[in-house]
A and B are shown apart, each in its own frame.
Chain A
């Protein structure tokens, strides 16, 4: 499939998306799910 973008551009887009949006997702996940889990099961 021709996306109109070079392979290196796609690679860098994926790097940016995975690290930045992934970082945001992980930090929100950590704040909402893991913190509640730790509180519920009193994990120190």
Chain B
């Protein structure tokens, strides 16, 4: 029987899972999604989605990883041979694409952490970001040259990631998360406390929490809540299966999933309070509505926040540095988990050492990520991010629940496994959530998505550009999953032995 790596402690696993779930989206996506979809009223569909899709799928993926004790492809292979192995590879290729551009955003945040001390962005943060930092190309699809100021911190991000992953599960990933997550929490708490003490903070919080109950009647608001929960929890792209495969046999799967899910939401709520408090400050000082300054994503972090930092009455530099360092830490802990999926997958499938797998995996994704460090990098990043998230993760999630709940009818087996090792017993709500609610909502989400994309091109990009960088990336992840599934497992004793031992015990 193989000696599979294990987490040192339960807290180590939970911190790593929370570190994976808590990423850039918690800080810069959730507040705006909530504001746009009913403010305080959004919490109703959001909590409903957390309890009927987020946590149930987390339990499902923790159970698969724990029961079959392998990387995502190996776990799915042990589950039902090649008929399900492709699901693992599909998630891995989605993760691979995400890792290539995610690292670049962390590199920008690293630069901005340093810039914060001297407020280097000056009086026009927008021109500074797009012009001085990114040196952005005029048109989408233009590569331009490599931007040295982005490529260098990007190399640093990959070097950190490489060292952590080379350290292995316990001495690398667990140790990093044990340090990064508490530091992230302290830094972000400082940011939030400073934010809510600014003039106008309550105006922002009022805008964020004020419920627009009528929005609850819109199906799109419910779909937005499910979509956000889905993207936020690192589910359906192999991460949670990989991480839970390193759990010891006696591990409380169900409660770990509840802790991970609620911890992720707790950080999102904290981020919502922090972000809207500073937006309230900005709106008040400019004499405009909060809605006029509310934004999300790259624009919020690298344009709006520097503008706010400029206007703050004191502690500007330290506030900025803590905010951007929070982004760096949240991003790094997620990036590590994303890379771990393909490192574990390659090691299992091709029977190579972890060290070699880290060299190949991080080396390849680091090389490809240089595309996003070019002058046209932001356009490539924007389109790749949209298509791989929307048409990658959502489709995998839908296929995963349909195959496991309807085609292969495995939920009973998983329920039995989870209940055998957990204090909280799974009941009918778990099966109903995965068999009916999740497929219906994800199906509806995809329907709206396809409808919207047929009606108009994403962000008005030229069709030729979307067919170069968008659709091929999403479709390519699926095609590559079929190619890798068709390859043979290399003389691998892991494929059968370890799982057989487990099966006997259940």
B141 within 8 A of A: no
Is A27 in contact with B262, judged by CB distance below 8 angstroms?
yes
Dominant SS among interface residues on chain A = helix
- Residues of chain A with a CB closer than 8 A to B258's CB: 23, 27
For window 194-228 of B, CB contacts with A under 8 Å fall at 202-203, 205-206, 208-211
Q: Is the CB of A15 within 8 A of B210?
A: no
* B213 and chain A: residue at smallest CB distance: A8
Q: Mark A1-18, 1 if CB is under 8 A from B, else 0.
A: 001111011111101110
Report the interface size for chain B: residues with CB under 8 A from the other chain.
26
Question: How many inter-chain residue pairs (CB < 8 Å) link A and B?
Answer: 78
By the criterion CB–CB under 8 Å, are A4 and B206 in contact?
Answer: yes
How many Å from the CB of A44 to the closest CB on chain B? Answer: 11
Q: Which residues of chain A are within 8 angstroms of B205 by Cβ–Cβ distance?
A: 4-5, 9, 13
Interface of B is mostly: helix
Partner of B40, one of A12, A21, A27, A34: A12
Looking at the assembled complex, report how far the CB atom of A17 sits from the nearest CB atom of chain B, in whole angstroms: 7
Cβ of A42 to closest chain B Cβ, rounded Å: 14
One digit per residue, 1 when the CB lies within 8 angstroms of any chain A CB and 0 when it does not, for chain B 260-276 equals 00110110010000000
Does B424 sit at the interface, judged by CB under 8 A? Answer: yes
Q: Residue B39 at the A interface, CB < 8 A? A: yes
B316 contacts the other chain (CB 8 A): no
Task: Tell whether A35 pairs with B266 under 8 Å between CB atoms, given A5-B205, A6-B210, A12-B39.
Answer: no
Query: Quick one: which of A12-40 are within 8 Å of B by CB?
Result: 12-13, 15-17, 19-21, 23-24, 27-28, 30-31, 34-35, 38
Question: CA A3 – CA B209 in complex, angstroms?
Answer: 13
Cβ–Cβ < 8 Å partners of A38 in chain B: 423
B389 within 8 A of A: no
Given A30-B424, A34-B423, also A19-B211 (CB < 8 A): no
Interface residues on A, range: 20 to 34
Q: Which one of B10, B203, B259, B423 contacts A4 once the chains associate, using CB atoms below 8 Å?
A: B203
Residues of B near A30 (CB, < 8 A) are 255, 423-424
Q: Which residue of A lies closest to B257 (CB)?
A: A27
Docked complex Cα distance between A10 and B206 (Å): 8
Contact surface of A with B, Cβ cutoff 8 Å: 3-6, 8-13, 15-17, 19-21, 23-24, 27-28, 30-31, 34-35, 38
25 A-B residue pairs with CB within 8 Å: A4-B205, A5-B205, A5-B206, A6-B206, A9-B209, A9-B211, A11-B211, A12-B210, A13-B40, A13-B209, A16-B43, A16-B209, A20-B265, A20-B266, A20-B269, A23-B258, A23-B265, A27-B258, A27-B259, A30-B423, A30-B424, A31-B10, A31-B252, A31-B255, A34-B423
Which B residues are within 8 Å of any A CB, using their own CB?
A: 10, 39-41, 43, 47, 202-203, 205-206, 208-211, 252, 255-256, 258-259, 262-263, 265-266, 269, 423-424
Known: A12-B41, A13-B209, A21-B262. 5 other contacts (CB 8 A): A12-B40, A21-B266, A27-B262, A30-B424, A31-B252
